[in-house]
Amino acid sequence: MAEPILSIRGLTRDFGPFRAVDGVSLDIRAGSITGLIGPNGAGKSTLFNLLTGMLKPTSGTVRLNGQDVTGLPPDRLFAMGLGRTFQIPRPFARMSVLENVMLAPQGQRGEGILGPFLAPARVRDQEARIRRRALEVLDFVTLAPLADHPAGKISGGQMKLLELARVLMGAPSVILLDEPAAGVNPALTRILIDKIEELNRGGTTFVIIEHDMDFVMSHCDPVIALAEGRVVFQGTADEARANPVLLDAYLGAMADG
Amino acid sequence: MIGLLSYAVFFSTVASILAIAVLGLNLQWGFTGLFNGGVVAFFGAGAYGTLILGGTPQADHLGGFGLAYPLALAGGAVAAGALAWVVGILTLRLRHDYLAIATFGIAVTFENVMRNAEALSGGAKGFRGFERPLRDLFGDGFAYNLFFFSLVLTLLVAVYLFLERLVRSPFGRLLRAIREDEDAARSLGKAPARVRLTSFVTGSVIIGLAGGLYATFYAFISPQDVLPTLTFQIWAMLIVGGAGNNRGAALGAFLIWGAWTASGWALSRFAPVEAQLYTGSIQYILIGSIIVAMLLWRPQGLLPERLVLSQSGQPVKPRQQGA
């Protein structure tokens, strides 16, 4: 097997006496669409927050493309090619959809306070390039017609597409999606899946937390199950489907609510 | 007639000075979401800084560096920026109400230091011994006020143009993103701490510039000029005018200062004698009621923030249109 894109060893996170993530060790295969399942409170979102630097681990290590990135802040990790979306979408609500996307590119000269005054021509050129690229990416996620809408006024599903568009501006090698299908109408979910698969064919790795079992079973390989902060299953979707313990303990529990 | 005109110039000078301060606060709150509850500390740092640097030698307190006026004014603004930098390093990890409380405390501390450190500030008596610039040329009357008003207006326009350019730039986009959702901005590779500090210091330099002009206009500053009241008034101007809109910020300064002076005049003229003792308090109630009413019925202010649009493919800087 090729070098894993994300290599997690003994990752642990405590909240006071509560251990949310408990010694998780995983290798995320480059080029995969890895599904992460488990009942509520299993530690999936905490694991995401540890991988993206929103939280610092109590112990354990994370390697991205072989490089130790444990404890690095989210801004550094994004610059290194790790993008993420949020379970509850977090658009910049009082900014236009286009501006949301134009924010994301790294190394913008105009982001220093003096840039617009010292090198106006260069900033203008860079802005024009970023705008063109942002409109392309919005077109890709089918949001181009909404470019001038306030991002807080679009639907929840469109916000999830917007978050994907923002992340794509950074050309990440791995994207972590937290419940991309939750609360999204089927038509938009279909678009999202198409885009994920298209990007995946282009080489982007995805790690997806999802409660929608049809989604996980038909699009994710491998599937990883967490329970009480620990990895309890790793395998293909078919193996997951055939695993009686998993079925009883987790899929059943999830189906019940 | 000349009396009315003279008053109009006087009023507009003070309102324009306050408008500069409101623009500074707008950069911090309107565009970056930084709740500066101690505006008056930075206003005061600019005021005292300008007078100390540009004043004539004094026996009983610091001052008398006699710098050329532009240097003294700039020095005052830099002093406000330096104060903001120190405060920022200490408090910018604080968010929202916590930042407000911390900066409010700093402003009260500033006022008390100015009141008690007589060797520095002249104490409660205030800071005297400042010669207004070009007084030789314009004298002390209407001509001088007209000159000074044009200076203030020029600086107001310059600050406005600077900020308009800034908030339409990628830097402005970054400020607004941090205001909207700091964690989401971090997840997109942005480092908010430095940007928040830059915005806080820049806004405070502008507020300090306003303070320097205010002290110049009266050739005097005292602890009475840096009470929390002024912070409250400047906030009222921003809320009424429209946070996140620089034109709104300037408009709010003129409206609230107009309401303040008009209510003071009306109370002194029409209120019963026993109520006149409480003129100031009645004015606070009035302005407070305006803030509450605005927050209830038009929280976005008279001129709300507008969306920056894409101007359909033209490779020029974003243009403002109706949202």
Nearest by CB to A110, which of B170, B176, B316?
B170
Distance to chain A for B187, nearest Cα, Å: 5
- What's the DSSP call for residue B277? T
Nearest by CB to A124, which of B173, B307, B317?
B317
Residues of B in contact with A116 (CB under 8 A): 165-166, 169-171
Q: Do the Cβ atoms of B187 and A111 come within 8 Å?
A: no
Q: Is the pLDDT of residue B150 over 90?
A: yes
Residues of A in contact with B190 (CB under 8 A): 75, 103
Q: Name the residue in chain B with its Cα closest to that of A51.
A: B187
Q: Do the Cβ atoms of B323 and A150 come within 8 Å?
A: yes
Q: Name the residue in chain B with its Cα closest to that of A172.
A: B188
Rounded to two decimals, the ipTM of the complex is 0.90
Question: CATH no. for residue A183?
Answer: 3.40.50.300
What are the distances in angstroms from CA B218 to CA B46, B127, B205, B221? 14, 11, 20, 7
Provide the pLDDT for residue A213: 82
Judged by DSSP in three states, B200 sits in helix
What are the distances in angstroms from CA A50 to CA A9, A208, A223, B114, B278? 12, 15, 19, 48, 58
Name B178's bridge partners: none
Distance to chain B for A196, nearest Cα, Å: 19
Is residue A244 situated within a structural domain? yes
d(CA B180, CA A21) in angstroms, rounded, equals 30
Q: Is the pLDDT of residue B309 over 60?
A: yes
The tokens for A54 are 């929103």
d(CA B81, CA A13) in angstroms, rounded, equals 41
d(CA B151, CA B212) in angstroms, rounded, equals 13
Q: Do the Cβ atoms of A112 and B171 come within 8 Å?
A: yes
Q: Do the Cβ atoms of A84 and B187 come within 8 Å?
A: yes
Provide the pLDDT for residue B314: 39
B40: confidence class by pLDDT, cuts 50, 70, 90: very high
Nearest by CB to B171, which of A95, A113, A150?
A113
Given a contact cutoff of 8 angstroms between Cβ atoms, the answer to whether B308 and A149 are in contact is no
Q: Is the pLDDT of residue B318 over 50?
A: no
The tokens for B6 are 């003279």
Residues of B in contact with A111 (CB under 8 A): 170-171, 174, 195
State the first-to-last Cα distance of chain A, in angstroms, to the nearest integer.
37
Residues of B with CB under 8 A from a CB of A: 165-166, 169-171, 173-174, 176-177, 180-181, 183-191, 195, 198, 202, 244, 305, 307-310, 313, 315-317, 323
Judged by DSSP in three states, B257 sits in helix
Q: Do the Cβ atoms of A116 and B189 come within 8 Å?
A: no
Given a contact cutoff of 8 angstroms between Cβ atoms, the answer to whether B41 and B226 are in contact is yes
Q: Do the Cβ atoms of B308 and A99 come within 8 Å?
A: yes
Mean pLDDT computed over B101-126:
91
Q: Do the Cβ atoms of B177 and A95 come within 8 Å?
A: yes
Torsion of CA B45, B50, B51, B53, to 10 degrees: 110
Phi, psi of B317, rounded to the nearest 5 degrees: -70, 150
Nearest to A190 by CA among A134, A142, A251, A133: A142
| Best of A50, A80, A103, A126 to mutate (most B CBs within 10 Å, chain B) | A103
Q: Do the Cβ atoms of B244 and A127 come within 8 Å?
A: no
Is residue A113 situated within a structural domain? no
Biggest alpha carbon distance in chain A? 65
Is residue A202 situated within a structural domain? yes
d(CA A48, CA B159) in angstroms, rounded, equals 44
Q: How many domains does chain A have?
A: 1
The tokens for A105 are 């590119």
Given a contact cutoff of 8 angstroms between Cβ atoms, the answer to whether B80 and B43 are in contact is yes
Provide the pLDDT for residue A40: 84
- Its domain, for residue A182, covers 6-91+154-256
Architecture of domain B8-313: Orthogonal Bundle (1.10)
Is residue A249 situated within a structural domain? yes
Angle at B196 between CA B193 and CA B199, to 5 degrees: 150
Distance to chain A for B236, nearest Cα, Å: 22
| Best of A56, A99, A149 to mutate (most B CBs within 10 Å, chain B) | A99
Residues of B in contact with A126 (CB under 8 A): 170
- What one-letter code names the amino acid at A184? V
Given a contact cutoff of 8 angstroms between Cβ atoms, the answer to whether A95 and A147 are in contact is no
* Contacts of A31 by beta carbon, 8 Å cutoff, 6+ apart: A5, A200, A203, A205
Q: What percent of chain B has pLDDT over 70?
A: 96
d(CA B149, CA B155) in angstroms, rounded, equals 10
Print pLDDT tens along chain A (257 aa). Answer: 568 999 999 999 999 999 999 999 999 999 999 999 988 888 999 999 999 999 999 999 999 999 999 999 999 999 999 999 999 999 999 999 999 999 999 989 889 898 888 888 999 999 999 999 999 999 999 999 999 999 999 999 999 999 999 999 998 999 999 999 888 888 889 999 999 999 999 999 999 999 888 888 889 989 999 988 999 889 998 888 888 777 766 655 555 44
Name A242's bridge partners: none
Is residue A143 situated within a structural domain? no
SS3 for chain A, per residue?
Answer: CCCCCEEEEEEEEEECCEEEEEEEEEEECCCCEEEEECCCCCCHHHHHHHHCCCCCCCEEEEEECCEECCCCCHHHHHHCCEEECCCCCCCCCCCEHHHHHHHCCCCCHHHCCCHHHHCHHHHHHHHHHHHHHHHHHHHHCCCHHHCCCEHHHCCHHHHHHHHHHHHHCCCCCEEEEECCCCCCCHHHHHHHHHHHHHHHHCCCEEEEECCCHHHHHHHCECEEEEECCEEEEEECHHHHHHCHHHHHHHHHHHHHC
B310: confidence class by pLDDT, cuts 50, 70, 90: low
Domain range summary for chain B, segments of one domain joined by +: 8-313
Provide the pLDDT for residue B60: 74
Provide the pLDDT for residue B256: 95
* Of A97-101, A169-173, B39-43, B236-240, the least confident: A169-173
Provide the pLDDT for residue B317: 39
State the first-to-last Cα distance of chain B, in angstroms, to the nearest integer.
43
What are the distances in angstroms from CA B145 to CA B133, B139, B153? 12, 9, 12
Q: Do the Cβ atoms of B173 and A99 come within 8 Å?
A: yes
Nearest by CB to B186, which of A75, A96, A102?
A75
Q: Is the pLDDT of residue B322 over 60?
A: no
Taking one residue from A and the other from B, the number of pairs with CB-CB distance under 8 angstroms is 121
Q: Do the Cβ atoms of A135 and B177 come within 8 Å?
A: no
B166-195, pLDDT tens digit by residue? Answer: 999 999 999 999 999 999 999 999 999 999
Provide the pLDDT for residue A251: 55
d(CA A169, CA B189) in angstroms, rounded, equals 11
The tokens for B149 are 């008003």
Given a contact cutoff of 8 angstroms between Cβ atoms, the answer to whether B44 and B109 are in contact is no
| Best of B161, B180, B187, B305 to mutate (most A CBs within 10 Å, chain A) | B187
Nearest by CB to A127, which of B170, B198, B307?
B170
Using the CB atoms, write b or e for A116-129: b if 16+ within 10 Å. Answer: beeeeeebbebbee
pTM: 0.91
Given a contact cutoff of 8 angstroms between Cβ atoms, the answer to whether B245 and B305 are in contact is yes
B315: confidence class by pLDDT, cuts 50, 70, 90: very low
Provide the pLDDT for residue A2: 67
Q: State the burial class of residue B273 (Cβ atoms within 10 Å of its Cβ: 0-12, 13-18, 19+).
A: exposed
Q: How many alpha carbons fall within 13 Å on the CB side of residue A220? A: 30
- What's the DSSP call for residue B308? B
Choice between B303 and B141, residue whose per-residue pLDDT is larger? B303
Nearest by CB to B170, which of A75, A93, A111?
A111
d(CA B293, CA B285) in angstroms, rounded, equals 12
Other CB atoms within a 10 A radius of the CB of residue A56 amount to 12
B313: confidence class by pLDDT, cuts 50, 70, 90: very low
Q: Do the Cβ atoms of A106 and B180 come within 8 Å?
A: no
Other CB atoms within a 10 A radius of the CB of residue B98 amount to 12
| Best of A48, A50, A75 to mutate (most B CBs within 10 Å, chain B) | A75
Q: Do the Cβ atoms of B310 and A98 come within 8 Å?
A: yes
Choice between B264 and B84, residue whose per-residue pLDDT is larger? B84
| Best of A52, A113, A125 to mutate (most B CBs within 10 Å, chain B) | A113
Nearest by CB to B173, which of A102, A112, A135?
A102
Other CB atoms within a 10 A radius of the CB of residue A51 amount to 25
Given a contact cutoff of 8 angstroms between Cβ atoms, the answer to whether A203 and A172 are in contact is no
Alpha helices in chain B (DSSP H): 2-25, 39-54, 69-91, 96-116, 118-121, 135-138, 142-168, 170-180, 182-187, 192-218, 228-241, 246-270, 273-276, 279-297
B58-111, pLDDT tens digit by residue? Answer: 777 777 788 899 999 999 999 999 999 999 998 877 777 889 999 999 999 999
